[in-house]
Amino acid sequence: MYKPTQIFRIFLLYTLLFIAFGPVEAANPDKPIKIIIGFPAGGPLDAHIRLLVEKLQSSLGQTVIVDYKAGAGGAVGAQYVMQSPADGYTVLLANTGTMVINPAIYTKSPYDTLKDFQPVARTAQQPIALIVNKDVQANTLKEFVAYAKANPGKLNYGSAGNGGVSHLVPEMLKSETWILMVHIPFKGSAPALTDLIVGHVQFMAESVPQAANYAKQGKVKALAVTSAKRNPALPNTPTVLETGVATLDVVGFYGILAPKGTPPEAVNKLSQAFKKTLESPEIQKKMIDQGADPAYLNADQFSTCLAAEMPRWAKAVKQAGAQFD
């Protein structure tokens, strides 16, 4: 039989261990880490994480599973992670649209990015390319704007869903150039790109890696990129600023977030694993060749980044008049 003082000491030891290391299961190396994406397989987020998974698993010493919870511009996946146990085993791979545009564009957003999530790491910055169906009678952004003005309301643009960058950037272009296009939201970039290629929609704003892949195959035409400088993946495609048509300077991001309350040790372990993965010369070359910037930020830096990006995009949403109930 243990004496009362011994029982107290054992209880105190377990309490201190729990405080220091979080739930016991958080130290379980056999439990897989699940990365949730709020869009269908085959889109830019999926392509991004597939590039990292092998080295990420090696860094963590654990299996990494990618799962998809598509819908509402990434909000379905975000809600799923928000409501998951805060143990470091279920995290969200999100983009600018899901994390900073959705809360601004929806008056009844189901989550608050800064209150409901713990940022873990920014994994990339993603310039956007403005692309059109190959049969559209325009080879430059200036020609496309003229073509759109000559055919008001007859052109459609596809997006990965209401509220994302692929929705808001065309709205910003419309606002600056006074063209009229009809928005067709899809449940992710992959189905939107499919309809762009076959001509059901004529225009799209897509991440450079995806856009460059299809442009190099001759399936779409890239008219401009929205970054301040040209992108290595599309070296002959001018920036929007170069065209003189508009002043768009937009770069999105990808990042990992965990449910609020995830133990700091689990957050740091994940963040360091992503850092190690993104520092790999092989990974960096592949990302840059695709058109992405391996721009790692740790948990604190990513938190600061999100806090700065949210008011910026809230202003852009208001100016574009793209708010929804």
In a shared domain, residues 119 and 257: yes
Single residue among 243, 268, 303 that ends a domain in this structure: 243
**DSSP string covering 52-117, please?**
HHHHHHHHHTS-EEEEE---GGGHHHHHHHHTS-SSSSEEEEEEHIIIIIHHHHBTT-S--HHHHE
Instruction: Give the chain's domain count.
Output: 2
The Cα angle at residue 71 between residues 65 and 75, in degrees rounded to 5: 85
32 assigned to some structural domain? yes
In a shared domain, residues 139 and 232: yes
Single residue among 243, 275, 298 that ends a domain in this structure: 243
The CATH code of the domain that includes 77 is 3.40.190.150
pLDDT score of 81: 98
Supply 271's token pair. Answer: 């963040």
3-state secondary structure of 261: coil
In a shared domain, residues 101 and 148: no
In a shared domain, residues 141 and 228: yes
Place of tokens 């509402």: 72
Supply 230's token pair. Answer: 């040209």
325 assigned to some structural domain? no
**DSSP string covering 151-194, please?**
STT-EEEEESSTTSHHHHHHHHHHHHHT--EEEEE-SSHHHHHH
In a shared domain, residues 62 and 78: yes
| Residue pair 124/292 in contact by the 8 Å Cβ criterion | yes
Q: φ and ψ at 91, to 5 degrees?
A: -130, 165
Place of tokens 């040209």: 230
Single residue among 212, 243, 274 that ends a domain in this structure: 243
313 assigned to some structural domain? yes
In a shared domain, residues 153 and 289: no
107 assigned to some structural domain? yes
In a shared domain, residues 197 and 278: no
Whole-model pTM above 0.75? yes
Question: Distance (Å, rounded) from C-alpha 189 to C-alpha 159?
Answer: 7
pLDDT score of 25: 41
Q: How many helices (H) and strands (E) does the chain have?
A: 14, 9
271 assigned to some structural domain? yes
pLDDT score of 170: 93
| Residue pair 86/261 in contact by the 8 Å Cβ criterion | yes
Give the closest residue to 99 by CA, choosing from 174, 50, 52, 37. 37
pLDDT score of 162: 79
Query: For helices 208-216 and 281-290, what crossing angle results, to 10°?
Result: 70
Question: Distance (Å, rounded) from C-alpha 67 to C-alpha 49?
Answer: 11
Supply 179's token pair. Answer: 């063209």
pLDDT score of 119: 98
In a shared domain, residues 45 and 98: yes
In a shared domain, residues 104 and 160: no
3-state secondary structure of 139: coil
Which structural domain, as residue segments, surrounds residue 71?
Answer: 4-126+252-320
Question: Distance (Å, rounded) from C-alpha 313 to C-alpha 109?
Answer: 15
In a shared domain, residues 113 and 257: yes
Q: How many CB atoms lie within 10 A of CB 236?
A: 7
Helix (H) or strand (E) holding 118: strand 117-133
Cβ neighbors of 87 (< 8 A, separation 6 or more) are: 22, 23, 25, 26, 262, 263, 266
3-state helix, strand, coil in the chain (%, to 5): 50, 20, 30
In a shared domain, residues 169 and 101: no
In a shared domain, residues 183 and 263: no
Helix (H) or strand (E) holding 207: strand 203-207
Each of the 325 residues of the chain gets a pLDDT tens digit; together they read 545 455 445 445 444 444 444 443 444 667 999 999 999 898 889 999 999 999 999 999 999 999 999 988 889 999 999 999 999 999 999 999 899 988 888 878 889 999 999 999 999 998 899 999 999 999 999 999 999 999 998 999 999 887 778 888 998 899 899 999 999 999 888 899 999 999 999 999 998 988 999 999 999 999 999 998 999 899 999 999 999 999 988 888 999 999 999 999 999 999 999 999 999 999 999 998 888 889 999 999 999 999 999 988 888 788 767 666 6
The CATH code of the domain that includes 179 is 3.40.190.10
